[in-house]
Structure 1
Amino acid sequence: MTEPFVKTFPAVDAGNNVTRQVMADSPELMVVEFRFAEGGIGAPHNHPHVQSTYVKSGRFEFTIADTTFEVGPGDSFVVPSMAVHGCRAIEPGVLVDTFTPRRDDFL
């Protein structure tokens, strides 16, 4: 292996009271941690990547397409490719998202 196995990525301001930090990546998969202040917003968007979200802490209201639901610690779900989705932090919390393939726009 020619490159280090473990990489360190800085946390960046994602806007709307949210920070984003890439935790691990490869061309096929990426793990990203999002930290939300209370009221933080993940603005509605879509992307070609399949996304899996795990709620590490906090409470969130998510909308995927025409469905809105509330999630809390330990909950997880999948966002299909190209589905419009977004969220609002009901209380401060952390989401761990995985993307396949990697989100090159986060690097």
Structure 2
Amino acid sequence: MSETSELIGKWVPSGEGVERRVRAEDPALMVVEFRFQTGGVGTLHSHPHVQSTYVERGVFDFTMDGKTTRISAGDCFVIPSNTEHGCTCIEAGLLVDCFTPRRDDFL
């Protein structure tokens, strides 16, 4: 079993009040869950990957390119490559993110 496959499905700390786990990956695409406690912060950042985000549960104030929007269960959107984004969790929840290509830094 490779080191990469051992990480699939395991929760990893990803900031204060935030954990992530890789659910599936291929060089072209990666699916990652982010579990947030109330008050957890996804720090503003950018990356070269295109990202889609689906809110499975919870409420978040999500900032993209300086504009903040409240999102909640069922919302879905795409974040273009190199766009600054982040969030604050208002009610504990789970985000499902897909990245293309795969985020090797998560492995």
Instruction: State TM-score, norm by structure 1.
Output: 0.92
Instruction: For 2:9 and 2:68, locate their aligned partners in 1 and report how far apart those are by CA, in whole Å.
Output: 32
Larger proportion of helix: 2
Kindly report which structure 2 residues correspond to 1:21-32, keeping only aligned pairs within 5 A, or say none: 21-32=21-32
| Unpaired runs of at least 5, structure 1 | 1-5
- Aligned identity (percent) is 56
Match of 1:102 in 2: 102
Structure 1 runs of 4+ aligned residues shifted over 2 Å read: 6-9
Instruction: For 2:78 and 2:11, locate their aligned partners in 1 and report how far apart those are by CA, in whole Å.
Output: 24
Instruction: For 2:99 and 2:44, locate their aligned partners in 1 and report how far apart those are by CA, in whole Å.
Output: 17
Instruction: State TM-score, norm by structure 2.
Output: 0.92
Match of 1:3 in 2: none
Report the more deviating stretch, 9-18 or 52-61. Answer: 9-18
Alpha-carbon RMSD across the aligned residues, in angstroms, is: 1.5
Match of 1:69 in 2: 69
Q: How many pairs were matched up?
A: 103
| Unpaired runs of at least 5, structure 2 | none
Instruction: For 2:30 and 2:82, locate their aligned partners in 1 and report how far apart those are by CA, in whole Å.
Output: 17
